[in-house]
Structure formats: structure tokens, C-alpha cells
Structure 1
């Protein structure tokens, strides 16, 4: 017999709100986490994005708070990016539909005055990025001594973004007696260390093996020689508007994201949008909203948005660049195949990115299927500068794996020595003498 939300000791208001959202049964992470959180236990939850993780901690928190009370927050939810805190707050809006529970969201990129004004009206739950919450606290506009529950969401990303000093500040500020919840998609050593520092006798919940990509996502990779060929392949794929109907394209850098966006706007779809750290907060929010509503088909992004997009029916995620933070691969492709819908993840891999692709395949414990570049796609020659950049990157990778490796030049020199060839580079001085001798004749 299937378990229903009403079986999880949630009140009628929350069950009705969940039903209004179209959910009929709890997901595995919700089934495991909700009873333990309601019992007051500290919880360490490992679950991918798209598994219902947010509701897994919001529902029991709302059940424990029950109704509006006092002026100061009783629950604090911290997340690493503006996009993610906005997403959590929107989920709160839907779940508190039939209650009087008050909540507010705070994040950087805009002035704090309106956020402080919202807090001063009285709130029960605060959602925010660590930096902005601390800013408001040190302005003495936020009282946290009455806090009962603290949540760290996307803890692995927080560690990657360098939030550990701020997390430690929170541990000094907050009341010792509180319930702590830590959720992460992966469990690297730094998150394990944080959990030991942050949680007290936690219940560990893992609904999928660490760094396992979503089961509903089909994954493929194209081995592509250079940037220009990646662009040509991208243009070719996106011509199929029926299959590629809602796409997120991830680039490693702001520069690459801008270049991809400019090309697509000019050649493929003028209504393409791009979001990265240099874009203003309102621009980023508007682009996300337009993408969610379906008014734009293509969204180009850096990893700033990899964990902040909760959009159903994303047909494809395209990794224009292979991520160098390997856990980000799981988060990127988790933008498709959500809510039991099928999704597709396509990666473009240049010669210098093969190293990172191999590392990702080890982490996800599977081989990604390689596809041939279609015959219609023009495969261009790699420009000299780009080829040199790849060679330098490959040298760095080899040195990382083998500290005794001295680089491609020394490797070539050693090979020639083994063949008893006296290999000596011509110095600038020698070149000049040779040139002068030639001029005499």
C-alpha cells in the first residue's frame, strides 16, 4: 500500500497545499526525512536535485511551527545562491497557502533596506544567503536567539563557494539548543567535516548513491576538437525545435556564456537569454521567470544557476563546457528529468576536457555514451592559439597526476635522448650568428 502525505502526520492545511501543487505521493527523501525531522532529530540528507528535497525539510518545519507567533524567526534556511533562496521561498509561498505563517527572503545584489523592512514586520521563517543574513544581523535588524531550526541546503556548493567562515560565525551566534538539518547532493570530505561540526547525533539519509545522476536522464557526449566546432554542433542540434523545445546551456566562464549567447541570439533564436554573475539581479530573475513560463526556449548560464532552477519539462541540458568541479555535472543535468519526466543531457568535450570527463565518469560510476559528430556539421581546424591553450592545460593535468612530469618539451627532449639524438634548442645568439654567416655569401 502506497504512503500518502496524510500518513506522515501533516495537518490538513499542509496536505491540501501539497495536493494543490499536484503531488499525490511523497518521494523517497520525503518519506525518510519528514518523520525524523518531526521527531526532532538532526538530519544529514543526501539527495539529488529534483527529488523533492526542498519539501522534505519545509513540510516538517511548517508542521512544527504551525502558526504565526511573535516577531522573530524560529527557522532559518541558508542556501548558497540568490536563485536557490528565491526558489525555496516560492516553494514556501505555495506550502503556506492555507496557513498564516510568515516568511521572508534575503540575498545580495540589491540594497538591504526593503529586506530589513520585511523582517521588521515579523516573520516565522527566514530564507537567505549566508552573507546577506549576517549583514542584516550585524546591522542589529535581525534577532536570532529564538531560533529553533536551522537548515543548510546545498551544503556541498556552500563549501565550494567558500562559505565555511560564515557558517562558523552562525554557529557562534545561534542558540545552542536547536535542531539542525543539512542537505547536500554529494558527500565530499569537506561536507562530512561540516556535518561533524554542525550536527549532533544526526540521522543519515541517502536516497541515491552519492553523485548519481538522475535515472530519468539520458546522457551523451560529443568529442569536439575546438570552440568553433562546438558552436557549429550546437547550431545543428538546436535546429530540431520539436525535440529541443526547452534548453539550458551551461558554459564554464562568463566569457564563454556571453559568446554562446551572442551567437545563438544572432543565428538561432533572437529571444535567447543569458545569466551569469555579471548580470544584475533583476535581469537574472526576469530571465529565470521568462524561462519558467515558457516564453523563452533557450537559457545560457554559468554554474551560478545550476542549483537554482526548478523548471519542469526542460527537454535538454547541454554542457557546452565540461565542468571542472565534478559534482556540478550532477547538478547541471539535474535540471532535466525532473518530477519523473524524461530528460536529456548532452556534453561537448574538447581535447583538454577529456581529463575532466574521465573524472566525472568515475564519480558517477558510469560511462557516458559517445556520439559521432553529424556529417552535416562543419569540423573546423583548431587555431594555433587555441591549440596551444589545450596543450598547456593538458600539461597541467599531467603534472597534477604525476609531480615528476616536466612538460611536453622535456618529454620530447627525453625521447630524442633515448634515440641517441643530440637535441639542443638553438639559442637566440646562435640564430644571430647563423644569420650573419648567411649574409656574407
Structure 2
């Protein structure tokens, strides 16, 4: 029995949206779009669990644009919240693309830049606001943003918003927006914290889970390398990136901006020409980050080094490789990082570097993604450096902390050594004192004379 393939025409979207969808190159809905669009059109609250790169932005923005239909009044009727500036810009870009043949007005609000242009955008009339929670609340408290006309509220990447500490702003926002509204919550994972938020935020929601939660993207080949230290990680990264034919568009994730800066400078000095590499992190200005992203998207930049600030704000279909130079400590971020490759039916590769202190985190990640990451032997001609003593000790302390986390009674290697040392000395001292007392004059006087001497 042959099943009929659903098209965007079947959603009864207006012609302006269908023309924009066709122009954007979308031929058929993705699974999340197929399930979410009819439910949102019917007015249901929706909880969507879907990986990045599955088309969830279109899944909520297309029915939202259909609901709004055309520009009306001055104040926003829909609010979309996202955790990072990059993701806000990506969502705004997608909505503007889909609404290009309508007069619907969309304004993006995010920090890191001045408020003047954003305030002007709101005051000239807006239908949809896409914002980070912090900047939105700033402008609300200054009475720039009016919320009483909102009929739809969307939380995108809810898990990341909670990881970044936005929960107080979100709770405050839920108090100020109209009670009668449609709520849509999208997340790549359905951790306990997201479930608790869904109870606060959604009313009788329909849950959509297009893939098992927090599983890694099917189009991504995952590889794990075990390395002894930081220096050898740098050597392996340099070794692999020498093949520019294979590593065409590479995204490298690090744990901190300091490491990102070091990796960028080292690769610039050793293997990648200046015009082909950029670095982005929280200390970089918004214009610098935007320009770097655009250059990477266009293909003029081959290598982009980034902290997790970029893990959810990049929508580029041709990222060939993602490197986890550092294993993420927020385990769900692994899913988001590798979700930057293997998009739009392209095969991608995710390469993770693991030290002995990272093995604990890898086991936790494998539990979340429900699969073992295949380990690959190191290249035979790779230069493997000796681990410096301070780095070795730091890793051992980290392993002790991990064991203590799993077993609070575990004392740790460093702790045990300190404890053993004084117990060896004390009996000896005690014995010496007893010996003095037993030889010669009275114990009290002998003892005090010894002290005076």
C-alpha cells in the first residue's frame, strides 16, 4: 500500500508563505514539521523534543506566520525566546525569509549591542519579537515593550536557557504576559528540569518527539580519540587539519575562551592561513562574531574555533567536521555541538578528544545518547608529548572529585597520603616521651627540664 507524501500545500498555508518556502529550497516537511504544524494551527500547546537541524524553527514559525497573517497595530502579538544572540539572529533570519512576501514585522532583541536600533524597531511597529530573556526584560522594565497583546509565546532551546540561568527571567515573564495565550516549548532534550518547566508553562500540551530524546544525529559519524594531555590534543588537531581536502569546513569547540584563543593562535601559526580561520566567544564583540559566522557560512573561512556560545546559533548545511577539543561538562551540549554537522541530509563527522579525566564525562554522554562512541587508534606518526607534572596532578584531582561525586565515602589518593603521614610520626614521638620518663628522675620534673633545655 503506497502512502501519500505530505507537502507544505497540505497545511493550507497562504500563497505568500508557500512561495517563500519554495524559494528557500524546502520541498517536503521534516518529521517535526509534519507533526507540529497541524497541532499549532489547531491552537494546541505543544512540547516538541527535536534535535537541532531537524527544521523545528519552521515547525513553529510557519503556523505562527499563518496565524498573524499581516501587520496589525503597533505592539507584538508573538514572542519567541532563545538562549543566545546567535540563535536569536538565526530564528529572525528564518522568519524574515518565510515572511518576505508579507508585511509582517519581526524585531530581534539581544545583548552585546546598543539598544537604540532595537527600540526604534519596536516603536515603529512590530508583530513578532525574537529575544534573549535578559534583553527582553531590560526593555520591558523600561516600558519600551508592551506585552498585553501577546497571543503566542515560544521557548526555543528551553534546556539551554535553563542551563544558562534564565529561569528567574522566564518565571517573571510568565507573570507579566497575558494568561490567555498559546504556548510552544521546544528542546533538544527532555531532562527533569525541562519537564518541570513544561508543567509551569504549558496547559494540556501535546508532546511530539521525532527522535529518541538526546540521541545524536543519525547523519553524523562519531569518533573518539584518547589522548594523554593538552599538548598531544593540539598535535592531533594540527595533524588532522593539514588535509584541507577532507576537512573543508570545520567547527572546533573548546571549554573556555582562553583555550579557544590558544587553539586559534596555534593553528594560525602552524597550519591554517589567516584568511581561513576565525575565533568566537563571549568576549568578542557582536559585530566580530556576526562577521565571523557569515564568513564561515559563505565558505571563505574554513575553520571556526568557538565556545558553546555558538553550539546552538549556527545553521550551516555544509559543516564537514565538528571537533570537541574539550569534552563538554553539560552533557546535553554534546548533542547540540555535533548537531552542527550532518544537517540537511549531508553526512558529517564529529571527532572528540578525551583525556583520562574526561572518561567519566564520556560515559555520562554515552548514557544520554544511548550509544557508545567508537574509539579510534591514534595515527602511528603522531608526536605524543610527555604530560607535565602539574597537568598530571590536576587530572588526578579531577578523577578523585569524580569518584567522590559517585561515592561520598571515597577519600581520594591525595587525601589518603596526607592522612597516613602524621599517623606514622605520632607513635614514634609518644614512644620517645615515654622513654624519657622511664629513665632517671621524676616524670614531672624530668619532663619539664627536657622542655627547658
Partners of 1:78 and 1:231 lie apart in 2 by: 37
Q: How far is the alpha carbon of 1:425 from its aligned partner?
A: 6.2
- CA 379–74 in structure 1, closer or farther in 2 if over 3 Å, else same: same
**Partner Cα separation in structure 2 for residue 199 and residue 52 of structure 1:** 22
- Of residues 293, 297, 318, the one that matches 1:292 is 297
Deviations, residues 17-48 of structure 1 (Å, cap 9, x unaligned): 11101110000000000000000000000000
For residue 345 of structure 2, what is the aligned residue in structure 1? Answer: 340
CA distance in 1, matches of 2:356, 2:262: 20
SS state at 1:371 partner = coil
Pairing of 1:19-38 with structure 2 (within 5 A): 19-38=22-41
1:114 matched to 2:109: no
Aligned pairs for 1:18-97 (under 5 A) are 18-97=21-100
Shift of 1:110: 1.1
**Structure 1 CA distance for aligned equivalents of residues 93 and 53 of structure 2:** 15
Partner residue, 1:244 = 247
Which of 348, 363, 368 is matched with 2:368 structurally?
Answer: 363
Q: Secondary structure at the match of 1:285?
A: helix
2:269 maps to what in 1?
Answer: 266
Of 111, 132, 146, which residue of structure 1 is paired with 2:135?
Answer: 132
> 3-state DSSP class of the match of 2:38?
helix
Task: Please report how far the alpha carbon of residue 412 of structure 1 lies from its aligned counterpart in structure 2 after TM superposition.
Answer: 6.3
Runs of 4+ residues deviating >4 angstroms: 410-414, 422-427
State which of 210, 215, 221 in structure 2 corresponds to 1:218.
221
Relative to structure 1, is the Cα distance of residues 120 and 408 closer, same or farther in structure 2, using a 3 angstrom cutoff? Answer: same
1:112 to 1:404, Cα distance in 2 relative to 1, 3 A: same
Greater mean alpha carbon deviation, residues 146-155 or residues 110-119? 110-119
CA distance in 2, matches of 1:274, 1:425: 54
Aligned residue for 1:435? none
Secondary structure class of the residue paired with 2:198: helix
Q: Which residue of 1 aligns with 2:398?
A: 393
Distance in 1 (alpha carbons) for counterparts of 2:407 and 2:300: 50
1:6 alignment counterpart = 9
Q: Larger deviation: 279-288 or 329-338?
A: 279-288
Q: Deviations over 1:301-320 (max 9, x none)?
A: 00011000001110000000
Output the CA distance in 1 between the equivalents of 2:372 and 2:422: 42
Q: Distance in 2 between matches of 1:190 and 1:177?
A: 24
Deviations 1:316-339 (A, max 9, x none): 000000001000000000000001
Aligned position for 1:192: 195
Instruction: Specify which of 264, 281, 284 is matched with residue 276 of structure 1.
Output: 281
**Which residue matches 1:179?**
182
* Per-residue Cα deviation, 1:251-272 (whole angstroms, up to 9, x for no partner): 0111111110110111111231
For residue 437 of structure 1, what is the aligned residue in structure 2? none
Secondary structure of 1:348 counterpart: strand
What's the CA shift for 1:413?
8.4
Spell out, residue by residue over 1:349-393, the C-alpha distance to the aligned partner (whole angstroms, 9 max, x if none).
011001000110111110111011101210000001110110111
Unaligned runs of 5+ in 2: 430-453
Give the whole-Å Cα distance in 2 for the aligned partners of 1:273 and 1:111: 24
TM-score (norm 2): 0.91
Q: What is the rounded CA distance, in whole Å, between the counterparts of 1:227 and 1:11 in structure 2?
A: 55
In 2, the alpha carbon distance for the partners of 1:67 and 1:346 equals 45
Other structure's SS at 2:375 match: strand
CA–CA separation in structure 2 for the residues paired with 1:425 and 1:214: 56
Q: Distance in 2 between matches of 1:200 and 1:32?
A: 18
CA drift of 1:409 comes to: 3.3
SS at match of 2:304: strand
User: Which of 154, 157, 162 is equivalent to 1:159?
Assistant: 162
Find the aligned partners of 1:328 and 1:10 in 2 and give their Cα distance.
34
SS of the residue aligned with 2:384? coil
Partner Cα separation in structure 2 for residue 24 and residue 119 of structure 1: 34
Work out the number of aligned pairs and report it: 423
Q: Secondary structure at the match of 1:137?
A: helix
Q: Which of the residues 329, 332, 353 maps onto 1:327?
A: 332
Q: What SS does the corresponding residue of 1:122 show, helix, strand or coil?
A: coil
**Bigger-Rg structure (1/2):** 2
Distance in 1 separating the partners of 2:414 and 2:399: 13
Output the TM-score relative to the length of structure 1: 0.94
> What is the RMSD computed on CA atoms of the aligned residues?
1.6
Q: CA deviation at 1:411?
A: 5.0
